[in-house]
Amino acid sequence: MSGLFVELLPDYVALREADPREYPSDLSPLTPEEAALVERAVDKRRREYTAGRVLAREAAACLGVDGLVLVNDERRAPMWPEGLVGSITHTRTWCAAAVARRADVRSVGLDVEQDAPLRPKLWDTVCTRRDLAWLQAQPEAARGWLAKALFSAKEAAYKAQYLLTAQLLGFHAMSVRIDAEAGSWRATFERPSGGEFAVGDVLEGRMRRANGLIATALVIR
């Protein structure tokens, strides 16, 4: 499969993508510090984690940063080195890593999901009242996949804001609108975050639906 995210990010963001099933489960491509974080994980998790770290290292090398070692903070978020920002996402069939210079980009967020409808019993967990009202106004046949795209956009937005605030947010901290025809989305803060974002602030991103996957991405300049 050709790149899923390549159309969603500007050229100054280095991007690498691959199928995680192509990577070994023995953690051999990782540094000891990276491998220690998943040494007891199941094979699927080990392959996806390995793919993410290897792809992030390759993306950083495109920016002239060699030998990137990427471990997690206490909240399991990647700790990017001084001067870089980035995001990693993976599902069972696809993985992507985006890295940029902090001088060019304040933050970046990626998410990829299987293109299966989000089950209606989960809508209340993921959606604000504004989200639910918007979903109910959409054609019935599209609501399931749009709910999954909404979920994915929130995941990408939360990753991007975390790089700036170090704040964990629940799903009700933002409302999202999807413009499927334009391949874009807008996330509006329903709650403040870390003194960086106020209620009503908006993050704008892009999305793509292809090859049985939904991809969302945004850059904060």
Give per-residue pLDDT as tens, 4-55.
999 999 999 999 999 999 999 999 999 999 999 999 999 999 999 999 999 9
- Tally Cβ neighbours within 10 Å of residue 210: 12
Residue with tokens 């009242």, as numbered in its chain: 129
What pLDDT was estimated at residue 44? 96
Q: Please, which pLDDT band fits residue 76 given cuts at 50, 70 and 90?
A: confident
CB 71 within 8 A of CB 33: yes
Q: Please give the angle made by the CA atoms of 123, 49 and 208, to the nearest 5 degrees.
A: 50
DSSP 3-state of 112: strand
pLDDT at 167: 95
> Given this model, what pLDDT does residue 74 score?
86
CA end-to-end span of the chain, whole Å? 29
pLDDT digits (tens, 9 = 90+) for 59-72: 999 999 999 999 99
Tokens of 28: 């051999």
Is the pLDDT at 1 greater than 60? The verdict is no
Q: Pinpoint the residues of the chain covered by CATH 3.90.470.20.
A: 14-105, 116-220
How far is 198 from 220, CA to CA, in rounded Å?
Answer: 15
Which band of pLDDT confidence, cut at 50, 70 and 90, is reported for residue 75? confident
| Calpha distance 195→193 (Å, rounded) | 6
Calculate the CA 70 to chain-centre distance. Answer: 16
Confidence category of residue 208, pLDDT binned at 50, 70, 90 = very high
- The DSSP-derived string for 185-208 is EEEEESS-BTTTB-TT-EEEEEEE
Q: What is the CATH number of domain 14-105?
A: 3.90.470.20
- Cα dihedral 17, 23, 25, 27, rounded to 10, equals -80
**E strand or H helix that includes residue 96:** strand 95-101
User: Mean of the per-residue pLDDT values for the chain?
Assistant: 96
Q: What is the CATH number of domain 116-220?
A: 3.90.470.20
State the burial class of residue 4 (Cβ atoms within 10 Å of its Cβ: 0-12, 13-18, 19+).
Answer: buried
In the chain, the amino acid numbered 16 is: R
